[in-house]
Amino acid sequence: MKRLLAAAAILLAVTPSAQAEPTVERIDFEVTRGGDPLGWHRLRIERDGDRARVEIMIDFELKFGPIALYRYTHRNRTLIEDGKVVSIETRTNDDGDYFAVLARQDDAGRGDGTLSLLGVDGRIKVPADIFPSDYWRYATVRQGRLLDTQKGIVREVEMTAMAGREGCYDMTGELTMQLCYDADKRWVGGSFDGRGEEVLYTRRLVPSDTPWNFSLEDVPPGEPASRYVTVAQNEQR
């Protein structure tokens, strides 16, 4: 009888029903520039055990009356496992300048802890535990280097806690932005300089209930920022 009970306990310990169910979190930021609407920055984070699949959509449009003075479109799909990047695919149109980035752990990368990164300057190897510049993880504030997900290059940064603003950090160096997190270490806001005006991120308390329609193809074509952009786009799945 004792052996049967022990066997049953083992089966219960490994049965799928005992594992945590996958969760999905939506994060929506309303973004303004100089107090005027600029657009949206949206994230969808699907967690399943030690894996996280992150999709990001950024859509900005600076207008003067009916005339669009500036447009920015970014799509980002990232897979993280055990705190390490497994893959990143992004496309960006920055007011006509077009970027595509591909990062992936190949079979060799899984063995030596590196990531093959193809960005605007070509293909390089980077540590798989590098944090992308997506900011949703609180541990971002403890990093000294970030993977620029628009250009596919490594940026040196410094994070400094802001006096009188608990949970807020001033990121300086090759990327500049103020990032704020709440007591539960959730990313809740931030700001940066946008051509002389403050670009302000305000997190919605209740995310939009509109269907999530993510596609890299939503990024309109533009002038490739380098010859590697087309290579990265063609290698994306």
pLDDT beyond 80 at 3: no
For the chain, the domain total comes to 1
Confirm whether 65 is domain-assigned: yes
User: What confidence tens digit (pLDDT) does each residue in 133-155 have?
Assistant: 999 999 999 999 999 999 999 99
Confirm whether 186 is domain-assigned: yes
* pTM flag (> 0.75): yes
User: What confidence tens digit (pLDDT) does each residue in 33-90 have?
Assistant: 999 999 999 999 999 999 999 999 999 999 988 899 999 999 999 999 999 999 999 9
Three-class SS state of 4? helix
Domain span holding position 173: 21-235
Confirm whether 129 is domain-assigned: yes
Confirm whether 11 is domain-assigned: no
Confirm whether 100 is domain-assigned: yes
Confirm whether 77 is domain-assigned: yes
Pairing outcome for strands 153-161 and 168-173: antiparallel
Confirm whether 61 is domain-assigned: yes
> For position 170, what pLDDT does the model report?
98
User: What confidence tens digit (pLDDT) does each residue in 68-81 have?
Assistant: 999 999 999 999 99
> What is the number of other CB atoms lying within 10 angstroms of the CB of residue 126?
19
Alpha helices in 135-226 (DSSP H): none
Pairing outcome for strands 131-132 and 67-81: unpaired
Confirm whether 49 is domain-assigned: yes
